């Protein structure tokens, strides 16, 4: 991409670890995703029509799976932009292995993440537009002090920027695809999507400048949006939420889980998608190194949290730490530390770093651990209130689990369709790099 960079960013040396019948597996995987999505849609409809009472939330733990899933998905969304934008700015050319899946993931994840705050409100038919400051004769305005309003603005903006970034990056590929598929009906669609791209140097020049500019805009946005998501928690008085470390903590967590997820879906794409290119072990290793770094960062955050409690001497925070080690949260906390810190340490070993299967497994474990961590933050903190005797309980119902699996289904349904339809490797970029 960059003229001065002559490194070969793609090699064809990756060992093919998947030898099964891909087409059948694709159909099975897609069908499962669609089924998951459909049952999630039914649960959503039931939640709308009957009420939030069908969930397990109660007087004390009034946020649970909904917000956990929201934070989880919005966290996943962030690493997509990170990989595309920040690595672009840092001139890490190996990103082109990951950037298209990651950007696609960002888009789908934001949409999923956005649905949760809407579903989780008591009156979603009003909530989706009452948060917007539209002029009205009652002179009613939303409360700009509320972190939820910041969310309401930050996330759509992030969505729009990501969408533009994603689309812009695909314009040359659309043009190429339309030329390749001269017979197909899709060709005209691709041609329209390519916005008259003919690949002359002026277009490339403008393209690169815009792309860089958008990357420049997107990068602070990653930081800002996820900080705002963390403000939902850190501006409150709830012990366990009321921490200044939350913005960097959430961003680290987001990138951590996001990288793991990108690893998962890239390997999946390789499995189901075009056979032309495969992830080189070099790139796999680079991504694994990032994951390892963020795993250590997460460990640092956990230690800081404990330090905060002891340093401040705040009895509520100390109580929470006590619960994490000895109390009701101990199992959760143990699983979180195990999957987010201890297991990723395997990536210190070259053998594991280079194995696609091990990378996939570790990434899946990290995703599980990161979901649990969000669950621990949301439910664990709300379960105990600061007044004596305010001890709550929470058990998810079928509908909440169904919504979680429904969101996973929705993601893979859209993703699996898109990898067949859209140019998922930036062929031009790769070829361009190779030709250098």
Partner 1 sequence: MDRRNFISITFGSMMLALNACRQSQDKIVPNVEPSRFYSNDDYLYYNTVLSNKNAAFAVKVKTKEGKPIKIIGNNSTQIIGMDAKLQATIYELLHPDRLRMPRIEDKESNLQYALQKVFDKLYNFINLGKNIIFIMSEHSSRFLNKLINEIKSLNSSIKFFNYPTIYSNEAYLNSELLGVNGEIIPDLSNIKLFISIEADILGTDKFALYYQNVISERKENQADIKLITIESAFTLTGLNSNKRIVINKNNIESLLSDLILQVANKLNYNIPVKITNKLLQIKSNNTFDLNDLVYDILDNRNQVFIKSGTVSSYKTTALTILLNIILNSYQNRMYLAPNSYDKSEHLLELYRLLERPKDILIISLDTDLFYFASSDLYKKLLQIPIENIISFSLLQDSTARNSFINIPLKHSLECWGDAQVLNQNYVIRQPIIEPLNSESVSIEELLIFIKSKIINKENTNIYDELMSSYHLSEEEWINALINGYINNGENLLFNINFNPEKFLDFFDNDEGSSHANLLLFPSLYLGDGSYSTIPWLNELPDPITGVCWLNPVNISQNISKKYDLKEGDVIKISFKDNAVTAPVIINSELADDTIVGYYGYGRYSNKSLPNDEGVNFYNLKDISSIFLNNLLVNIEKTQNRIKISKIMSYVHSNTNANHFICDKMYEKQHKHFFENKKYFENKWIMIIDTTKCIGCNYCILSCQIENNIPFVGMDEILRGRNLHWIRHYVIMTDKGYRNIMVMCQHCENAPCEKVCPVSASTHSEDGLNETTYNRCVGTRYCITNCPYKIRKFNYFNYASNFTKSLNLMLNPSVTVRSRGVVEKCSFCVQRINEYKRFEDASEKIETACQEACPTGAISFLNLKYHQDAIEKIIGNKHLVRLLEEYNTGPSVWYLL
Are 83 and 219 in contact, with CB atoms under 8 Å apart? Answer: no
The two tokens of residue 121 are: 């409100």
Residue 411 vs residues 109, 214, 305, 369: alpha-carbon distances, Å: 7, 25, 32, 19
Nearest distance in Å: CB 63, partner 1: 6
- 375: burial class by Cβ within 10 Å (0-12, 13-18, 19+)? buried
Nearest distance in Å: CB 232, partner 1: 8
Q: Which residue has the tokens 């002026």?
A: 202
Q: Which is nearer to partner 1, 23 or 145 (CB)?
A: 145
Q: Which is nearer to partner 1, 234 or 295 (CB)?
A: 234
Q: Which is nearer to partner 1, 126 or 157 (CB)?
A: 126
Are 191 and 178 in contact, with CB atoms under 8 Å apart? Answer: yes
Q: Which is nearer to partner 1, 337 or 401 (CB)?
A: 401
Nearest distance in Å: CB 54, partner 1: 8
Sign of CA dihedral 360, 362, 365, 369: negative
Q: Which residue has the tokens 């201890």?
A: 342
Q: Which is nearer to partner 1, 115 or 359 (CB)?
A: 115
Q: Which is nearer to partner 1, 53 or 199 (CB)?
A: 53
Q: Within 10 A of 325 (CB to CB), how many other CB atoms are there?
A: 11
Nearest distance in Å: CB 418, partner 1: 32
Nearest distance in Å: CB 395, partner 1: 9
Nearest to 105 by CA among 309, 433, 431, 411: 411
282 vs 13: CA distance, rounded Å: 10
Nearest distance in Å: CB 323, partner 1: 15
Nearest distance in Å: CB 118, partner 1: 10
Helix, strand, coil content of the chain in percent (nearest 5): 75, 0, 25
Are 254 and 8 in contact, with CB atoms under 8 Å apart? Answer: no
316 vs 240: CA distance, rounded Å: 8
Nearest distance in Å: CB 254, partner 1: 21
Q: Which is nearer to partner 1, 120 or 353 (CB)?
A: 120
Residues of this chain that bind partner 1 (CB under 8 A) = 50-53, 55-63, 117, 120-124, 126-127, 130-131, 140-143, 145-149, 152, 232, 235-238, 315, 382, 385-394
């Amino acid at each position: 991409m960059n003229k001065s960079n002559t490194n070969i960013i793609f090699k064809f040396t990756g060992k093919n670890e998947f030898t099964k019948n891909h087409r059948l597996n694709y159909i099975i995987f897609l069908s499962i995703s669609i089924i998951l999505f459909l049952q999630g849609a039914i649960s959503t409809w039931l939640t709308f029509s009957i009420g939030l009472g069908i969930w397990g939330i109660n007087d004390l733990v009034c946020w649970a799976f909904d917000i956990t899933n929201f934070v989880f998905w919005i966290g996943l969304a962030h690493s997509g932009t990170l990989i595309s934008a920040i690595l672009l700015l840092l001139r890490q050319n190996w990103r082109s292995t990951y950037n298209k899946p990651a950007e696609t993931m960002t888009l789908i994840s934001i949409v999923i993440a956005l649905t949760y705050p809407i579903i989780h409100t008591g009156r979603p038919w009003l909530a989706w537009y009452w948060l917007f400051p539209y002029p009205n004769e009652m002179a009613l305005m939303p409360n700009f002090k509320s972190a939820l309003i910041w969310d309401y603005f930050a996330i759509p903006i992030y969505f729009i920027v990501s969408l533009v970034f994603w689309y812009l990056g695909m314009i040359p590929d659309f043009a190429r695809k339309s030329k390749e598929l001269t017979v197909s009906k899709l060709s005209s669609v691709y041609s329209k999507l390519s916005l008259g791209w003919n690949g002359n140097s002026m277009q490339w020049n403008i393209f690169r400048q815009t792309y860089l500019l958008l990357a420049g805009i997107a990068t602070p946005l990653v930081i800002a949006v996820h900080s705002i998501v963390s403000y939902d928690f850190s501006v409150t008085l709830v012990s366990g939420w009321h921490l200044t470390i939350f913005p960097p903590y959430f961003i680290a967590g987001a990138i951590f889980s996001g990288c793991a997820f990108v690893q998962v879906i890239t390997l999946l794409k390789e499995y189901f998608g075009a056979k032309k290119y495969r992830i080189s072990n070099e790139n796999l290793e680079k991504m694994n190194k990032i994951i390892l770094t963020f795993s250590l960062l997460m460990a640092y955050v956990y230690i800081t949290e404990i330090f905060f409690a002891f340093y401040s001497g705040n009895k509520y925070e100390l109580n929470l730490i006590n619960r994490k080690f000895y109390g009701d949260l101990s199992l959760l906390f143990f699983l979180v530390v195990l999957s987010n810190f201890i297991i990723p340490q395997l990536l210190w070993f070259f053998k594991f770093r280079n194995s696609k299967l091990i990378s996939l497994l570790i990434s899946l474990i990290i995703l599980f651990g990161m979901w649990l961590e969000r669950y621990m933050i949301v439910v664990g903190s709300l379960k105990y209130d600061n007044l004596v005797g305010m001890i709550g309980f929470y058990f998810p119902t079928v509908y909440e689990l169904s919504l979680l699996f429904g969101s996973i289904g929705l993601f893979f349904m859209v993703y699996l369709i898109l990898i067949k339809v859209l140019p998922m490797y930036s062929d031009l970029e790769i070829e361009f790099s190779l030709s250098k």
